[in-house]
Amino acid sequence: MGFVKKEYEFLKNIEIDSHNLGCYVGGKWKANGPTISTVNPATNQPIAEVVEGSLEDYEEGMKACVEASKMWKQLPAPKRGDIVRQIGDALRANLDHLGRLVSLEMGKILAEGIGEVQEIIDMCDFAVGLSRQLNGSIIPSERPNHAMLEVWNPLGIVGVITAFNFPSAVLGWNACIALVCGSCVVWKGAPTTPLVTIGLTKVIAGVLEKNNLPGSIFTSLCGGADIGQAIAEDTRIQLVSFTGSSKVGQIVQQTVNKRFGKCLLELSGNNAIIVMDDADIKLAARAVLFAAVGTAGQRCTTCRRLLLHESIYDNVLKQLLEAYKQVKIGDPLEKGILLGPLHTKTSKENFAKGIEVIKSQGGKILTGGSVIESEGNFVEPTIVEISPDADVVKEELFAPVLYVMKFKTLEEAIEINNSVPQGLSSSIFTQKPEAIFKWIGPAGSDCGIVNVNIPTNGAEIGGAFGGEKATGGGREAGSDSWKQYMRRATCTINYGNELPLAQGINFG
């Protein structure tokens, strides 16, 4: 059976066909769950069929993964790093096709789709270097002829549950580091982006097979909430990384905590950009456009609240309204398009409902605010003038809707920034050193990402990514995030003939 449309034929270059098995378990492709059709959000027409995994498939995969873990964790870390290097090279060879797939199935524009796959490649490079730097510590002992060491060992198995908006990059943040740290990976991709899950897995599986390594080092499943629930409940999985809504993340956290497992959460964002009276207005306006409209507002780091100093309020708003008029909306694979569709029909419906709620709470639509009549899930990029006290401002509407509000002082702006339940990303535009250092200090932003003169989105992999409060507190990608994927052991070695006790205790 061939693809419905000729423009989908490129998928065969990454071993995806019109009908696909959705599980890579025990080093084999199989699936015994329901068959679904994945759709193009720009047309809501089917792309291909995928057979999802069953709980029996999951169990088969986990048993094989447990066995593979015994070998993988004992392979020297630099050797594991070399495997991840090869994965990065294989991704480079398939960058354009995989990026095009991300755009096709998720709906983000092609530049962002390719950029997302590039992010995994960058993570592979980062992880290769990290594989030779999983350093412990030597700690001075208070006891004579004693040495204290801090040793880091692999956790075992890491479960990764990813969301539709970054169907590949988030897997990269977790898997690249988990693999070099000596843990096997069990991945459940988003139910609405199964082809991305399959396409990436094909690349990773090919590298493992080429090196005569067990395919079960990396287990991948397409499926629904039952697979996600199984991962959360499974005591064989030492760490569960979940990306999604705060509501579902809280359930995952409670389930994993109940069995004393570790949980890494990347949840909702409600991010603000503050523009001070001394800011570079043109720079700020460009940054806001990308932060609010990029990925059709479906990033956890999307700018949802714009806080403008009263003295420059009208000027910034005028530039933004002009810029919004220039935004080209359409098929994300077409050149020049800046705004693709929302990911699902439900997302489009939620946008329409959200606009009604905004109006009912005093929001004034300055531009946009309507669903675009078409076969796809297109909506207008929207700017809303609203009070920071409106209840709807405290929630995350996953769409290109930007709330604009005035402030008089930096202290007031910081208070508004910190007034929402979420705490992921934030940014200020200013030239004043005193404002910058207050913003990044203890009386400033309460978010995990605190930027100056750049947007809230587009984070680099070198820094730890994640947020506070209802964003979950997780940290992925760079800095010392690798420590979450390993277990710490404090080791004391007595190389003498006496048994002195700590704190000078004399026992017997």
Euclidean distance between CA atoms 494 and 51, whole angstroms: 57
> What is the rounded CA–CA span in Å between residue 371 and residue 353?
11
pLDDT recorded at residue 1: 60
Distance between CA 3 and CA 6 in Å, rounded?
7
Write the Ramachandran bin of 418: left for phi over 0, alpha for psi from -120 to 50, otherwise beta.
Answer: alpha
Half-sphere exposure of 29 (CA within 13 A, CB side): 16
Cβ pair 53, 221 in contact under 8 A? yes
Residue 80: the pLDDT is: 98
- 209 included as an active-site residue: no
In 3D space, the residue among 442, 116, 141, 122 whose CA is nearest the CA of residue 298 turns out to be 116
| CA dist 403 → 272, 302, 348, 353, 400 (Å) | 9, 12, 18, 16, 10
What contacts 433, CB < 8 A, 6 or more positions away? none
Distances (CA, A) of 496 to 14, 148, 500: 60, 14, 10
3-state DSSP call for residue 37?
Answer: strand
C-alpha torsion angle, residues 38, 197, 28, 186 (rounded to 10) = -130
Burial classification of residue 142, based on how many CB atoms lie within 10 Å of its CB (0-12 exposed, 13-18 middle, 19 or more buried): exposed
- Radius of gyration (C-alpha) of the chain in whole angstroms: 24
Supply 341's token pair.
Answer: 């569709």
> Which 3 state secondary structure label does DSSP give 38?
strand
- The β-bridge relationship of strands 425-429 and 271-275 is parallel
Which is nearest to 487 in space by CA: 134, 155, 175, 178? 155
Taking the model in full, what pTM does it have? 0.96
**Sign of the torsion formed by the C-alpha atoms of 190, 196, 198 and 201:** negative
The alpha carbon of residue 244 and the mean position of all alpha carbons in its chain are separated, in whole angstroms, by: 8
From the candidates 112, 266, 396, 476, give the one annotated as an active-site residue.
266
Cα 344 to chain centroid distance, Å, stands at 19
pLDDT tens for the chain, residues 1 to 508: 678 788 999 999 999 999 999 999 999 999 999 999 999 999 999 999 999 999 999 999 999 999 999 999 999 999 999 999 999 999 999 999 999 999 999 999 999 999 999 999 999 999 999 999 999 999 999 999 999 999 999 999 999 999 999 999 999 999 999 999 999 999 999 999 999 999 999 999 999 999 999 999 999 999 999 999 999 999 999 999 999 999 999 999 999 999 999 999 999 999 999 999 999 999 999 999 999 999 999 999 999 999 999 999 999 999 999 999 999 999 999 999 999 999 999 999 999 999 999 999 999 999 999 999 999 999 999 999 999 999 999 999 999 999 999 999 999 999 999 999 999 999 999 999 999 999 999 999 999 999 999 999 988 999 999 999 999 999 999 999 999 999 999 999 999 999 999 888 888 6
The beta strand positions in 425-498, using DSSP E, are 425-429, 449-452, 464-465, 468-469, 476-477, 486-494
485: which 2 tokens? 């994927």
Nearest-5° Cα angle at 425, 421 to 429 = 120
HSE-CB for 67 with a 13 A CA cutoff: 12
Backbone angles phi, psi at 466, to 5 degrees: 155, 175
**Angstrom distances, CA of residue 270 to CA of 262, 448, 483:** 25, 12, 27
Q: Identify the CA nearest to 18 among candidates 5, 3, 37.
A: 3
